[in-house]
Amino acid sequence: MSARAWRRALVTGGAGFVGSHLCARLTDSGTEVVCLDNLATGSRANVVGLEQRPGFRFVRGDATDPAAWQALPGRFDLVLHFACPASPADYLRLPLETLDVGSTGTRLALERAHADGARFVLASTSEVYGDPLEHPQREGYWGNVNPIGPRSVYDESKRFAEALVTAHRGVHGTDTAIVRIFNTYGPRMRTGDGRAVPTFIAQALDGMPLTVAGDGGQTRSLCYVDDTVDGVLALAASTETGPVNIGGGDEITMLELARRTVEITGSASRIRFVDRPVDDPARRRPDARLARERLGWPRVGWSEGLERTIGWFSRSVAA
């Protein structure tokens, strides 16, 4: 993968799940990092260890607030825009805020990147494909999205953000890239965020039934967070504009994921089937050829990554 030394980076949403891993990786590489987060869904605990290290600074502020941007000191040569509620539980609880950060937040982040002459990367999502009619999903697929369904606040927020990034690049020449992140999992996920991996793990560790939606036949392609970070930073270091899919290549059913979670944890939990959410995609798997060919991007197998994640959750519970 491409390597590039960044002097100073800004990560919006940097106290969130993926954002905190990006902050850690950049700090480890010697980059000075500013983390901007309003903690609506992120946690200060995710970056508290970084705050003891030179070159890292946490700033509590809202990416949709112009005053928060004006208060950020100095110039950046990398802006990673990851601020946004990403789990169904969060964006359904914060629908207007989700739309706002995709529009106003993205515009303000782009303006700062342009003013500083920085490389800008937008964290988009596989949700722009909706419930896809094409499988696997390539970057040129336009998607099958319900614009007024319960998931639309997140889907359309990201679709608009992609359009805004593309327009800003065309009009102002801003150095931008778009990464479409598929289902990512790993340490620092919240047990109550509504996504399958942390939900199944928490239920298994508590000895509770694992709640599988529908018949469990719907599929996802899971990507371990270290791999997602590798992909994001490889894209940032490249000259690619995107969109570029970053996601796991191993497509598994939710029932298989639940059973494997029970197996790894050694839990006595049973599986309980529940109603499937509205507009829940039936199949989800990226066509990741572009990332492999242009970025040289590798992956950790989903089963190995699941074992690492369960280990982290187990240690967190014990602590």
Q: Do 234 and 296 meet the contact criterion of CB atoms below 8 Å apart?
A: yes
Report how far residue 220's alpha carbon sits from residue 273's, in angstroms, rounded to the nearest whole number: 17
Q: Do 316 and 253 meet the contact criterion of CB atoms below 8 Å apart?
A: no
Q: What is the pLDDT of residues 55-94, one digit of tens each?
A: 999 999 999 999 999 999 899 999 999 999 999 899 999 9
Q: Do 254 and 299 meet the contact criterion of CB atoms below 8 Å apart?
A: no
With 90 as the cut, is the pLDDT of residue 312 above it? no
Report how far residue 43's alpha carbon sits from residue 37's, in angstroms, rounded to the nearest whole number: 9
Q: Do 155 and 145 meet the contact criterion of CB atoms below 8 Å apart?
A: yes
What the block records as the tokens of 98 is 């989700």
Report how far residue 172's alpha carbon sits from residue 18's, in angstroms, rounded to the nearest whole number: 29
Q: Do 39 and 94 meet the contact criterion of CB atoms below 8 Å apart?
A: no
- Do the bridges between strand 251-253 and strand 219-221 make them parallel or antiparallel, or are there none, so unpaired? antiparallel
Report how far residue 36's alpha carbon sits from residue 118's, in angstroms, rounded to the nearest whole number: 16
Q: What is the pLDDT of residues 34-58, one digit of tens each?
A: 999 999 999 999 999 999 999 999 9
Q: List C-alpha distances in Å: 53 to 17, 50, 236.
A: 19, 5, 24
* pLDDT band for position 1 (cuts 50, 70, 90): very low
Q: Which residue has the higher pLDDT, 249 or 214?
A: 214
Query: Is 154 assigned a catalytic role?
Result: yes
Q: Which stretches of 39-193 are assigned E, i.e. beta strand?
A: 56-60, 78-81, 119-125, 176-181, 184-185
* pLDDT band for position 271 (cuts 50, 70, 90): very high
For residue 33, the cross-strand partners are 9, 56
Q: What is the pLDDT of residues 86-144, one digit of tens each?
A: 998 999 999 999 999 999 999 999 999 999 999 999 999 999 999 999 999 999 999 99
**Element containing residue 95 per DSSP (H, E):** helix 95-100
| Spatial CB neighbours of 236, under 8 Å, sequence gap ≥ 6 | 4, 6, 78, 80, 119, 121, 177
With 70 as the cut, is the pLDDT of residue 261 above it? yes
* pLDDT band for position 5 (cuts 50, 70, 90): confident
**Percent of the chain whose predicted confidence (pLDDT) is above 90:** 77
With 80 as the cut, is the pLDDT of residue 262 above it? yes
**pTM for this one?**
0.92
| Average pLDDT in the chain | 93
* pLDDT score, position 3: 63
Q: Which of 91, 154, 185, 224 is catalytic?
A: 154
In order of their start, the domains of the chain are 8-188+223-249+283-300 (3.40.50.720)
Q: Which residue has the higher pLDDT, 281 or 166?
A: 166
Q: Which residue has the higher pLDDT, 219 or 78?
A: 78
For residue 56, the cross-strand partners are 33
* pLDDT band for position 319 (cuts 50, 70, 90): low
With 80 as the cut, is the pLDDT of residue 220 above it? yes
Q: Which residue has the higher pLDDT, 316 or 206?
A: 206
- In DSSP notation, 26-66 reads HHHTT-EEEEEE--SS--GGGTTTGGGSTTEEEEE--TT-H
Q: Which stretches of the chain are assigned E, i.e. beta strand?
A: 8-12, 32-37, 56-60, 78-81, 119-125, 176-181, 184-185, 210-213, 219-221, 223-224, 244-246, 251-253, 271-274
3-state secondary structure of 144: strand
* pLDDT score, position 318: 63
* pLDDT band for position 316 (cuts 50, 70, 90): confident
Residue appearing with tokens 């919006």:
12
- List the single range of 108-112, 177-181, 309-313 with lowest mean pLDDT: 309-313
Q: Do 91 and 156 meet the contact criterion of CB atoms below 8 Å apart?
A: no
